[in-house]
Structure 1
Amino acid sequence: MAPHSTGSPEAPDERWWKEAVAYQIYPRSFNDSDGDGIGDIPGITERVEYLDALGIDVVWLCPVYASPQADNGYDISDYRSIAAEFGTMDDWDALLEALHAHDMRLLMDLVVNHTSDEHEWFQRSRRRDGAYEDYYYWRDGGEDEHGDPTPPNNWGSFMGGSAWTYDELRGQWYLHLYDEKQPDLNWRNPEVRDEIASLVEWWLEKGIDGFRLDAINVISKPEGLPDGSGDTHPTGVELFSHGPRAHDYLRELYDRTFADYDVVTVGEMGETTVDIASEYMGGDGVGLDMLFHFEHMDVDVGPRGRWDPEGWGDWSLPEFKRIMSRWQTQLEAGWNAQYLGNHDQPRIVSRFGDVAERSSAAQQTSSVDDERYRIESAKLLATFLLTTHGTPFIYQGEEIGMTNATFETFDELDDPMMIGAVEDYVAAGKADSPEELRDFWNFQSRDHARTPMQWSNDEHAGFTDGEPWFAVNENYRDINVEAARSDEQSIWHHYRRLIDLRHDEVALVYGEYELLLPDHEQVYAYTRTLDESQILVVLNWSDEPATVDFGHTDGDLDVSDLRVRLSNYDETPSTPGERPLRPFEAVVYRN
């Protein structure tokens, strides 16, 4: 099941997953086959041919395991069962077979920093049941002046509030870096690591092609679980990210499982620099092949992080270029996992495209009429994603330019992280009501990525025949797959052409990246070079015309040898710099 790349005998360290284009599916919102309003596995199988037509090589499937859905499936109650709302194990087997029949591979989500509190392990642990007693982090706390129990330390949950919850049955506090229904596993316990290795082996034996490892940078906690400084409920790298035994745990897992299979591992790692990333990857690392870093996802967040309602929304292209170029050129080991959006981020065209460029974040809208360059900017984002170094990950709906939705009231939100951030802000007396933060959640909420996939202009966007679990974005009548596939100039067809181009041009996979014009406020330009092949990508990342002079760039760029290979406009200049670039114009040149 090789991707469509022609390969090259000169290309360094070839791997199937380097040459692939991946597509992330959020099952609950992708396609509903039985009319209950919830996307399911048979619904995904129905769309396999759609993914094949787009040119996808790998599908990353967000969790479909048994779960009470406190955090949309990232709270797992049984790793070897499928959630009833998504289907059965037979349905999952049929999906895997269909993907493999179309030369596509399947990447599952491995969520092992925590489980659901309804998992058998936790239920037995809270009863102090033999070997399960220390499967999780249990600690005694203190007492306040009223004699009420207080947490063991001041750590904060990523969902807001304390990272500790008191369990009456056990009479102790348990640690949860995420929702209180997601207790953290104690990786220090070798029996926990045995359990994890066993379930990984079980899925690999079923024939999957790899894992995306959720929140894998926080599996090792510091000795003594010391208080953090500063906030009432601090979180951060100094507390529990990249803990003292993280490398040991992951190397052990690799040696016991992944090393014996031709699979790919992609770690999700917040608070990770290029130097830290290199320590996890490659032969001298812990066996990870790729990782998702968050540095570029923090380019427009507030000074106190993503969930800070102050200072969000502004970003500069030169800073974005510096971040991305650092990862393109300084990653000493491993491979980039390139992405602009996923199930945890706002829609990319509303964040980095026309809407974000046209006005302040607080004034953003999902109205198609107000998005003058939505199509051009969505194509520009696609061009960037599919021509930079690393394996590109497309999130469902990006290929048709889906936008952020509009949530008028706090009650419309489903995202527990956003809900927790708003509640904490109000509780701290910084806002009188949640609705004062409407602009913030309409820019940053994870809910934007979780509105149902827009397949057609039929009721509920063709996602379901029933009542959808979450409201469909109101612009589905204009933005949908059916309309996009019928228009040869659509965003969808631009993605398809770019995927074909990446499969055909080995330089776009293995070629060296070189940034041009690093300080230009509007233009992001770079080359990809492999042997005699050179590709130049020029992106006017703004809603105003931009002038570039490639005669004054560093390096060995000879624009006279370059010809247009792909563009998001008609009548593209045949030579780079021949005339000003139009708003959000994106051009790929090749010698």
Structure 2
Amino acid sequence: MAENSGYVKEEQGADPERAREDADDKADESDIKVTIGSPGPYAGMPKEVLLEYSRKRGYVLARDILTAIVVLTILVLLSLVIAIMVISPACLEFWQTSPIYEIYPKSFRASDDTNGYGDIKGIIEKLGYLGDLGVQIVSVNSLYESSQISNDYEITDFRNIDPVFGSMADMESLIVSVHDEGMKIVVDFVPNHSSSRHSWFLASSNTSHPDHSKYRDYYVWVDGSENDPPNSWMSADGNGSAWTWSADRQQFYYHAFSASQPDLNLRNTAVRNELKDILRFWLEKGVDGFRAIGTAYMLEAPHLRDNPLINSSLPASRDNLYPDFTMHYKGNHDIVSEWRAILDEFSTEPGVFRFLEIRDEGTQNTLARYYGTEFRSEASFPRNNLFLQAAPVEWNARDLSGAILDWMKIVPDGRWPSWTIGDQDYSRVASRIGAGKSLLAAVLYMTLPGTPTIYYGDEIGMEDARGALPDSARATMLWGAGESNGFCGNCTAWTASVAPTASKTTEEQQGDVDSTLSHYKALIAMRNDMIFQRGYFCMIGNVSDTLVYVRELRGLKSMLVLLNFGIEQSSFDLTVTHSSISGHGTVSIRFGSNHTLNAGDSIDLRRIVVPPLAGFILRMDAGDELLSESDTMNGKCYIHSKLCYNAGLQVLEYC
């Protein structure tokens, strides 16, 4: 068979009419200029020829081989993907990967000069600052409509915004703006009590109110005589009896806090349903989670017996009573698990999880119970009060190492710890323990396993304002120059501000690489390192008055943290007591002013010198044996889930 040139040859004996049409076509084509050497029109390979070639053994074999290679490649890649999915851990949730930034809205930023209060629009204005800081979670203290008697926690409407902060439209704008910045928003949830001016209490306390029958049992009412309270229970705010007489109802009502904050009756199913509806209301608005406050006081013993005295020779008082029947009473965890179920209703979409933090008082063991059990989930984590409640003299390597290990032993396996050094009800950390130690405290809670919560202003080292707690810890934020330090344009702030000489503003610290703000930024960025989010925490402990611990992960270089909380220089050799530590470490970040080393400098781990009130984070080569694998470190190393880093695949895997 002759070779087919790709042109179709006219057959003999063709139809005359067809021949005439072809002649006309050729006449038309004669007008077309063809460039010499250019190919003519290509009609393609005829079907018969294509089939003939495609059936030849060589072509069939080549086609089968190529098909097999493609199929095999797809299967290998699919198997590899499945294998990686099987051996790799799930991604961390948003509340595990970022610090939480807690805002007291009255004092954060006022968008206008109308009333001297910080507001929602002021928070929106500063979202860029928070993004630059590196945080991805904004936790806003109570914004709800309130009687404003005790700073926002005497709520008169759980579903509305107090006018001093703005409107519901402003709140909706804040939620959208936070999400537009790639952040999450957490709001307060106050389930224990309402304001005495709440419509529920007004109806419950007034027997002639048209809705009295509906709300009669929304609060805790007990029979008695006016001058004879039912028992010795005392209010948590230290203002005497937890019972107040209602002349209208001729009964006492219970209040764990002030008389203007009556306790809700959470044994009443209708009240519990109201609280669940409040959660749903804000979840539908788009919030990403809640910080539940006052949960310790939600239930009281129905038998109303006196709380036992601590010292029987002294009269009953808040500090001389064991709160056996008024705090963390049985049934509390049932309520919290009900909330978790509501949050789970809004966590069904891929990548969506609604966060719940319990912020309360109690022993470490009591608080750890709010993690729930393997059969019933409760909080994402309870707030750990360890650093808030540590006395100034306890901020030393010996006491801190012991306290941290005690808490890590209590946290249930597979659960996530939390840490904080500042809060609206505690003196600011820079005032509590001093500016030098407060910077080391920042390094500590940013590099421990778990989620740190930054109280607004701590990132610039703000100190207490003039006056008494709690207002002294709620001073207006120091943004920049001017009479109000940038809190507002020209207003009289609702509370005192910190003296300009005591703390530098964010504006002053922005360009200073050694400022507290710059150190916080560096720490938050470093915390994104896989080793700090996923790695082992191993407490070496008190070494010559320096707190020493390691963060490590098989397959990566380990991080050594050295913090000298003392007033004397500390010198030691780590290789003597820990054979898995050897060689040199490279400075990643250094803290304090009493040093000569800088980032990138090398330190011989046999001759470590840490100046007073200073510290280092060193990156060091991991030896054949990790510290967490050493028998000498039993009970001193912890990890959320045991992982290794596969350098070949560049993925985390279970090991």
Partner of 1:338: 419
For the pair 1:574 / 2:602, whether they are aligned, the reply is yes
- Deviations along 1:191-232, whole A, 9 cap, x unmatched? 000000001011011111100010212212123122112242
Partner of 1:200: 279
Mapped partners of 2:100, 2:502: distance in 1:
27
Q: Confirm or deny: 8 A CA contact 1:296 1:324 kept in the other structure.
A: no
Q: Confirm or deny: 8 A CA contact 1:62 1:109 kept in the other structure.
A: yes
For the pair 1:30 / 2:108, whether they are aligned, the reply is yes
Partner of 1:280: 371
Partner of 2:223: 140
Find the partner of 2:160 among 72, 81, 86. Answer: 81
Letter in 2 for 1:242: H
For the pair 1:543 / 2:567, whether they are aligned, the reply is yes
Letter in 2 for 1:238: D
Partner secondary structure for residue 485 of structure 2: helix
Mapped partners of 2:544, 2:192: distance in 1:
41
What TM-score, normalized by structure 1, do the two folds share? 0.81
Partner of 1:403: 463
Find the partner of 2:443 among 383, 387, 397. Answer: 383
For the pair 1:524 / 2:547, whether they are aligned, the reply is yes
Identity of aligned residues (%): 30
Partner of 1:232: 316
For the pair 1:247 / 2:333, whether they are aligned, the reply is yes
Letter in 1 for 2:548: A
Gaps of 5+ in 1: 1-6, 143-147, 301-312, 356-373, 408-412, 414-444
For the pair 1:102 / 2:181, whether they are aligned, the reply is yes
Mapped partners of 2:101, 2:606: distance in 1:
34
Partner secondary structure for residue 462 of structure 1: coil
After superposition, the Cα gap between the structure-2 partners of 1:192 and 1:501, relative to the gap in structure 1 and judged at 3 Å, is: same
Stretch moving more, 237-246 or 256-265:
256-265
Partner of 1:20: 98
- How big is the shift at 1:447? 2.5
- Deviations along 1:525-566, whole A, 9 cap, x unmatched? 111122233221111112322223312445x64142532221
Alignment of 1:70-219 (within 5 A): 70-128=149-207, 129-142=212-225, 149-160=227-238, 161-219=240-298
Partner of 2:407: 327
Letter in 1 for 2:384: H
Find the partner of 1:462 among 486, 490, 512. Answer: 486
Q: Confirm or deny: 8 A CA contact 1:110 1:214 kept in the other structure.
A: yes
After superposition, the Cα gap between the structure-2 partners of 1:583 and 1:452, relative to the gap in structure 1 and judged at 3 Å, is: same
Q: Confirm or deny: 8 A CA contact 1:271 1:295 kept in the other structure.
A: no
Mapped partners of 2:101, 2:367: distance in 1:
26
- How big is the shift at 1:284? 2.8
- Deviations along 1:46-88, whole A, 9 cap, x unmatched? 1010111101110010000000112211111101110000000
Letter in 2 for 1:59: V
Partner secondary structure for residue 95 of structure 2: coil
Q: Which protein has the larger Cα radius of gyration, Structure 1 or Structure 2?
A: 2
After superposition, the Cα gap between the structure-2 partners of 1:150 and 1:237, relative to the gap in structure 1 and judged at 3 Å, is: closer
Gaps of 5+ in 2: 1-84, 310-314, 348-352, 621-655
Partner secondary structure for residue 551 of structure 1: coil
Find the partner of 2:432 among 351, 366, 381. Answer: 351
- How big is the shift at 1:316? 5.1
Q: Confirm or deny: 8 A CA contact 1:457 1:476 kept in the other structure.
A: no
Partner of 1:422: none
> How many equivalent pairs are there?
508
- Deviations along 1:308-352, whole A, 9 cap, x unmatched? xxxxx5435222322222223441153112101111111112223
Mapped partners of 1:149, 1:257: distance in 2:
44
Q: Confirm or deny: 8 A CA contact 2:472 2:496 kept in the other structure.
A: no
Root-mean-square deviation over aligned CA pairs: 2.3
Partner of 1:565: 588
Mapped partners of 1:8, 1:89: distance in 2:
45
- How big is the shift at 1:103? 0.7
Partner secondary structure for residue 267 of structure 2: coil
Q: Confirm or deny: 8 A CA contact 1:247 1:280 kept in the other structure.
A: no
Mapped partners of 1:53, 1:386: distance in 2:
17
- How big is the shift at 1:90? 0.9
Partner of 2:75: none
For the pair 1:499 / 2:524, whether they are aligned, the reply is yes
Mapped partners of 2:111, 2:475: distance in 1:
17
- Deviations along 1:19-60, whole A, 9 cap, x unmatched? 111100000010111112111111111101011110111001
Q: Confirm or deny: 8 A CA contact 1:197 1:257 kept in the other structure.
A: no
Letter in 1 for 2:400: F
For the pair 1:47 / 2:126, whether they are aligned, the reply is yes
- How big is the shift at 1:589? 1.4
Mapped partners of 2:253, 2:242: distance in 1:
8
Partner secondary structure for residue 481 of structure 2: coil
- How big is the shift at 1:457? 2.8
For the pair 1:587 / 2:616, whether they are aligned, the reply is yes
Partner of 1:363: none
